A and B are shown apart, each in its own frame.
Chain A
């Protein structure tokens, strides 16, 4: 076949013709209809044509099997042979993931050719390169023969791969007495390292990507994922183990925001899925991750990230699979006991792949041509987020952050509308804010965070009793300032009473001094929770002082003429965790205001 496929090897038989074989009846882009494959199951993998292109069974009607092909089907003809491989589309999960870049089927791109889909110059073929089969990994056992283990027990570790501890677990469905353990040393992914009962455990396991990996119990998601972005951490927080969607028209800053979160959020492992987006963006983010140091570990940021790059010009159906592959990888690290974040940019391209395939296979369309299953597919995908007790008994989580790209910026379209119902938080990117170069352009009127109360309680229990009050005031002031801005446009700001003009000023100080955050500035690209709190407090203290002043005999005009730049520049002028520096600037600001009395 001219390539090695993690997804098709080890099936019922190789493409040598001895396995159950059918033949192609119809080809229309990624849709292939196959006849004479009687025993095949839904979601089973097949190898299409002489080149063995990977495909997945998606429908069976009478004697006709519909397959979605994961590679370019050019040249595939009626009558070409098809082999069923006897198992579903699976991801190979192992120690090579962190720091790596993969396609939508989790095949490593580093070892693939410059141009994908070219095999030795003869047209269609290989999508991505081989996994390094003979590469060896360090193995350190943690169990001894005779020990009784259950699924999820840590059997050993693979040191020095990535920024988190890589634990090898007894896989789901296994358990019993350890009969044999390989000595510490170097092993390939195919060599057994432990025998549990009669099951050999290797450094790599296969998992069907459409099936959620099992857990012992779901836990309440009550602690925050700190993103390092002030508008999110202070106003629209997301709980660890929940899900959030980021809808926004083109150029509103989805990718920048998601990349910031990938770089700076408080999770242990990031799985970044570039789903049907730009190649240049992927190249750029790979370069940046390799250059940046992780403030928590001191290692390269790329060592905590798995990148799945299925750009818009790569085969469309692999885009559909990439979302599931990504969340499976996140669950894999969750099961080791880590907090993993899956970032998907953009889920709309995944939905489009569903639509495209549905329309070719004649599925009955519903809204805007999407298949009726869209809503349930979205809901099921976001349900794979969760804070859980793993099979191994530890607390861990998968958080999902998905960008949505609504056509024409219309948020009533089906993907946006259904996604909104499936997520706990929504960061709605507002075109007007982006146009005014207010970044991140998270709009305060269209966004929501449904776990605010729980997270407020968590902050209160962890040393910040004021978090909830602070958030309520910020949200209240922003809304009030918006209302008054509309009013001021009708009647002129000058005719508003003094304290309302202070509200307008407060809105400006919050927007420019707190919410705006420049992703390109070393000081401001990310911000610790303490610095965020200090900034909000400094602005609120200044606003309170202004309120007192207008109640006395200082006019609103005099206050508006004050140079607020020390406050507005505090975020930029202090380091990412310099809360003290912010407080000092806040105090200076109060002194200036006090001088007006």
Chain B
């Protein structure tokens, strides 16, 4: 056991409690705990654990009872031989650049053979709400090197933009590729990757993709695998964000936090909620799922007068592809747009299978364009999306009346849709495209249309294209 979480904020004389009232699923109920505060962190020792320590959080204090959620689960604990020591404060973790280059489990303990991560400062994993008047509106891009994202749904520093996907699609590959190659062009960009509920094969693949960046000391990887304790997953994104906030707002770094898969996180939350006998909401997810997810996603942003930023890219798999399922639905209500992966495009062999029409970066107009990416970017993106929408209509029409009955102009649009997938969206999983390359591809696709159809491009942008 490392001392990672041993020392917490302002310690109080720790008292040992061992009057176990109940052990059930992830919950440990102790009696005689008067004085223990809500949301306190506890260390739990079971005689059978061979000295290993489990970690607990107080979910409720009621008269002389305390309900503790045990991150490792209660398996193997017995009534007579379990001891809990309460820390007097909420759970804190060390913060600082010491995390970069490390691989840890979902609780932040190293699994890379290195020493425990330490840091001069510690911060509570729950974080604090950022005063909205101190927020600086996001205004600069993160370049992911993925054309479909950079060109049409630009990721903006300080934004939260989820990838909505379906089981079987390459969302993990995409998330790992973004984590491996994203940049802001500035010094000190770094990535925190929180993986939850991944199979070992997936975890290995992610790790392989991220190896170079890890070696360069630009990345922290936290991995909770499918066979790790489920409840631990409720902690993983919080550690990731706590570390990221410090790197961003105290060290001035631009930090990208990738969280995959948030559906596994929500399932862990549901498990705790069900064990507590809480009132189930839609599909048995707890009624506070919105607020809980918001307490994570709202940790992105920028602060007035400070340099860094936290950008969050969560991956959400939609069970049965259902976008109205509570996890994607509530995510959509919190995040600032979405990148949607399409099973049809995947079937056509397009990687990444990003559907541009369903995808939207709500902050793109703030993070792209003159002074941010390039003068022509926003117009070009709007033109391509409008053309794609028209192509989709034309395709539907063609299904009724036959492609040959379409007007010549509509034929151009159909060609544009095909070429947009082939030349712009499709790229190699190891390929990092420069913004220039991406925008040049946009032009090539747009110019499939006759000039008169390019109504969303201003005269100035067109002239610049012709001149250059």
Interface residues of A (CB under 8 A from B): 25-29, 33, 72-79, 101, 109-110, 112-118, 122-123, 128, 249-251, 274, 276, 278-280, 282-284, 286-287, 309, 311-316, 349, 352, 355-356, 359, 365, 368-369, 405, 407-410, 435-437, 492, 520
Counted as pairs of residues, one from A and one from B, with CB atoms less than 8 Å apart, the total is 191
Interface residues of B (CB under 8 A from A): 9-10, 33-40, 59-64, 88-90, 124, 126, 128-138, 158-159, 278-282, 287-288, 290-291, 294-295, 298-301, 303, 324-326, 329-330, 332-334, 336-338, 357-358, 360, 362-363, 365-366, 385, 389, 400-401
- Indicate whether A115 sits within 8 Å of B128 (C-beta atoms), given known contacts A26-B61, A29-B38, A123-B90: yes
With a cutoff of 8 Å between Cβ atoms, the chain A residues found around residue B288 in the complex are 316, 352, 356
CB distance from A277 to the nearest CB of B (A): 9
CB distance from B237 to the nearest CB of A (A): 13
Other than A109-B133, A115-B129, give 12 A-B pairs with Cβ distance below 8 A.
A73-B38, A75-B37, A75-B40, A78-B63, A79-B34, A114-B134, A117-B128, A276-B294, A279-B298, A283-B133, A313-B299, A408-B282
Partner of B281, one of A101, A287, A316, A368: A368
Tell whether, in the assembled complex, residue A116 and residue B38 are in contact, meaning their CB atoms are under 8 Å apart: no
With a cutoff of 8 Å between Cβ atoms, the chain A residues found around residue B36 in the complex are 77-78
Partner of B324, one of A352, A408, A436: A408
Partner of A359, one of B278, B385, B389: B278
With a cutoff of 8 Å between Cβ atoms, the chain B residues found around residue A73 in the complex are 38-39
Q: How far is the CA of A369 from the CA of B295 in the complex (A)?
A: 22
Q: Give the most central of B159, B332, B400: most A CB within 10 Å.
A: B332
- Indicate whether A76 sits within 8 Å of B38 (C-beta atoms), given known contacts A250-B329, A316-B291, A407-B326: yes
Tell whether, in the assembled complex, residue B34 and residue A77 are in contact, meaning their CB atoms are under 8 Å apart: yes
Tell whether, in the assembled complex, residue A282 and residue B39 are in contact, meaning their CB atoms are under 8 Å apart: no
Tell whether, in the assembled complex, residue A359 and residue B279 are in contact, meaning their CB atoms are under 8 Å apart: yes
Q: Which residue of A lies closest to B138 (CB)?
A: A280
Tell whether, in the assembled complex, residue B158 and residue A27 are in contact, meaning their CB atoms are under 8 Å apart: no
Q: How far is the CA of A158 from the CA of B58 in the complex (A)?
A: 50
- Indicate whether A278 sits within 8 Å of B90 (C-beta atoms), given known contacts A369-B280, A407-B282: no
With a cutoff of 8 Å between Cβ atoms, the chain B residues found around residue A311 in the complex are 129, 132, 294, 298
Q: Which residue of A lies closest to B298 (CB)?
A: A313
Tell whether, in the assembled complex, residue B35 and residue A280 are in contact, meaning their CB atoms are under 8 Å apart: no
Q: Which residue of A lies closest to B35 (CB)?
A: A77
Q: How far is the CA of A235 from the CA of B464 in the complex (A)?
A: 43
- Indicate whether A279 sits within 8 Å of B301 (C-beta atoms), given known contacts A77-B35, A313-B295, A408-B282: yes
Tell whether, in the assembled complex, residue A280 and residue B334 are in contact, meaning their CB atoms are under 8 Å apart: no
With a cutoff of 8 Å between Cβ atoms, the chain B residues found around residue A410 in the complex are 324
Tell whether, in the assembled complex, residue B38 and residue A356 are in contact, meaning their CB atoms are under 8 Å apart: no
Q: How far is the CA of A316 from the CA of B360 in the complex (A)?
A: 29
Pick the 3 closest A-B CB pairs, nearest first: A408-B324, A312-B294, A250-B332
With a cutoff of 8 Å between Cβ atoms, the chain B residues found around residue A316 in the complex are 288, 291
Tell whether, in the assembled complex, residue B333 and residue A250 are in contact, meaning their CB atoms are under 8 Å apart: yes
Q: How far is the CA of A346 from the CA of B184 in the complex (A)?
A: 34
- Indicate whether A28 sits within 8 Å of B60 (C-beta atoms), given known contacts A116-B129, A283-B136, A356-B288: yes
Tell whether, in the assembled complex, residue A312 and residue B291 are in contact, meaning their CB atoms are under 8 Å apart: yes
With a cutoff of 8 Å between Cβ atoms, the chain A residues found around residue B35 in the complex are 77-79
- Indicate whether A109 sits within 8 Å of B131 (C-beta atoms), given known contacts A26-B62, A280-B363, A313-B299: yes
Q: Which residue of B lies closest to A29 (CB)?
A: B38
Q: Which residue of A lies closest to B9 (CB)?
A: A123
With a cutoff of 8 Å between Cβ atoms, the chain A residues found around residue B299 in the complex are 313
With a cutoff of 8 Å between Cβ atoms, the chain B residues found around residue A28 in the complex are 38, 59-62
Q: List 25 A-B contacts (CB under 8 A).
A: A27-B61, A33-B62, A74-B38, A75-B89, A77-B38, A77-B61, A114-B131, A116-B128, A276-B294, A278-B334, A280-B301, A280-B336, A282-B133, A284-B366, A312-B294, A313-B130, A315-B129, A356-B288, A359-B279, A368-B281, A407-B326, A407-B330, A410-B324, A492-B400, A492-B401
CB distance from B235 to the nearest CB of A (A): 16
Tell whether, in the assembled complex, residue B291 and residue A78 are in contact, meaning their CB atoms are under 8 Å apart: no
Tell whether, in the assembled complex, residue B130 and residue A74 are in contact, meaning their CB atoms are under 8 Å apart: no
CB distance from B342 to the nearest CB of A (A): 14
Q: Which residue of A lies closest to B293 (CB)?
A: A312
Tell whether, in the assembled complex, residue A309 and residue B137 are in contact, meaning their CB atoms are under 8 Å apart: no
CB distance from A368 to the nearest CB of B (A): 7
Q: How far is the CA of A72 from the CA of B33 in the complex (A)?
A: 21
With a cutoff of 8 Å between Cβ atoms, the chain A residues found around residue B135 in the complex are 279-280, 282-283
Q: How far is the CA of A352 from the CA of B324 in the complex (A)?
A: 18
Q: Give the most central of A26, A29, A279, A311: most B CB within 10 Å.
A: A279
Q: How far is the CA of A285 from the CA of B35 in the complex (A)?
A: 44
Tell whether, in the assembled complex, residue B130 and residue A279 are in contact, meaning their CB atoms are under 8 Å apart: yes
- Indicate whether A101 sits within 8 Å of B133 (C-beta atoms), given known contacts A116-B128, A316-B291, A356-B291: yes
- Indicate whether A78 sits within 8 Å of B34 (C-beta atoms), given known contacts A116-B131, A282-B132: yes
Tell whether, in the assembled complex, residue B137 and residue A280 are in contact, meaning their CB atoms are under 8 Å apart: yes
Q: How far is the CA of A78 from the CA of B62 in the complex (A)?
A: 7
Tell whether, in the assembled complex, residue B132 and residue A369 are in contact, meaning their CB atoms are under 8 Å apart: no
Tell whether, in the assembled complex, residue B62 and residue A118 are in contact, meaning their CB atoms are under 8 Å apart: no
With a cutoff of 8 Å between Cβ atoms, the chain B residues found around residue A359 in the complex are 278-279, 287
Tell whether, in the assembled complex, residue A276 and residue B89 are in contact, meaning their CB atoms are under 8 Å apart: no
Q: How far is the CA of A110 from the CA of B36 in the complex (A)?
A: 34
Tell whether, in the assembled complex, residue A74 and residue B291 are in contact, meaning their CB atoms are under 8 Å apart: no
Q: Which residue of B lies closest to A127 (CB)?
A: B129
With a cutoff of 8 Å between Cβ atoms, the chain B residues found around residue A116 in the complex are 128-131
Q: How far is the CA of A75 from the CA of B86 in the complex (A)?
A: 11
